[in-house]
Amino acid sequence: MKKQITLVLLTLMVFACTTNPFTGKKTLALVPNSEILPMSFQQYDQFLSEHQVINNTVDAKMVKKVGRNISLAAKRYLTANGYAEYLKNYRWEYNLVKDPAVNAWCMPGGKIVVYTGILPVTKSEAGLAAVMGHEVAHALANHGQQRMSAGQLQALGAVAGNIAFMDDPENQAMFNVAYGVGSDIGVMKPFSRSHESEADRIGLILMAIAGYDPVESVNLWERMKQLGGQAPPEILSTHPSNQTRIDNIKSWIPTAKAEAKKFGVTSFKK
Ligand SMILES: [Zn+2]
């Protein structure tokens, strides 16, 4: 049995080493998107069924609008760079959920949740675009899979494509922690600093192509930083905000605007 699992894994490894179109780096995805996405979609639907989804309010419409703009930016960027296929299995969805946690996430395949608690921090459409661009970037760069341990990946690799895997609450929990789903601050595993940096940089490009001022990302993380203190919000457990990070984002703004210019975007919404 163990031999079989190893064989499956080796096969996956051979075929799953892909070049990240945003970084040009080779990233090893042990489980291909075509197999992991059905699990992601199932978890997303379950999350929505257990939470209060808000529809048709001004805020809910804004979440959908910004989400569409960010996903369109990702599509334009990837198509222009010869990676149109990258989003083939994505099924974008953007939902606002009633929950006071300062939180947002994007699962593989473009399944996004924004919590109402983050809106006072994002403040504007551009602030929301900074958050959504960043979370989408984690999904595009496959950071979730890279957060899993070797053992977890082995388990997932061995059953890839088998949705029944998700019937086991332990497997669900593992999957959700890897992708930042849910709200138990105690079990949330932080993204590594390099993943945060990568998501900041990619997210900045996405928001700029979508027509939002990348400077608003700096303002957003400044506000996040101020929220730190005694009871840091949910999102800071996985996305620690500090001055180095904010300085890095500042230094990438000209590049993000230059990328946007390639798509004819020269004015940016605050
Ligand atoms: Zn992040």
pLDDT tens-digit profile of 2-24? 444 444 444 444 445 566 676 66
Q: Are 6 and 155 in contact (CB under 8 A)?
A: no
The pTM for the full model equals 0.86
Q: Catalytic: 125?
A: no
Tell me if 269 is assigned to some domain: no
- Closest listed residue to residue 137, CA positions, set 45, 70, 192: 70
State the distance from the centre of ligand 1 to the C-alpha of 1, rounded, in angstroms. Answer: 37
The average pLDDT across 122-128 equals 98
Tell me if 202 is assigned to some domain: yes
Tell me if 149 is assigned to some domain: yes
State the distance from the centre of ligand 1 to the C-alpha of 6, rounded, in angstroms. Answer: 31
pLDDT tens-digit profile of 162-200? 667 777 787 787 778 777 776 554 556 677 888 889 999
Tell me if 80 is assigned to some domain: yes
> For residue 182, what pLDDT is reported?
63
The parent domain of residue 204 ranges over 2-261
Tell me if 172 is assigned to some domain: yes
C-beta neighbour count of 174 within 10 angstroms: 17
State the distance from the centre of ligand 1 to the C-alpha of 196, rounded, in angstroms. Answer: 5
State the distance from the centre of ligand 1 to the C-alpha of 146, rounded, in angstroms. Answer: 13
Catalytic residue among 93, 135, 196, 234: 135
pLDDT tens-digit profile of 210-230? 999 999 999 999 998 888 766
Tell me if 34 is assigned to some domain: yes
C-beta neighbour count of 52 within 10 angstroms: 10
State the distance from the centre of ligand 1 to the C-alpha of 193, rounded, in angstroms. Answer: 9
**Structural domain count of the chain:** 1
Q: Are 212 and 268 in contact (CB under 8 A)?
A: yes
Tell me if 47 is assigned to some domain: yes
C-beta neighbour count of 269 within 10 angstroms: 14
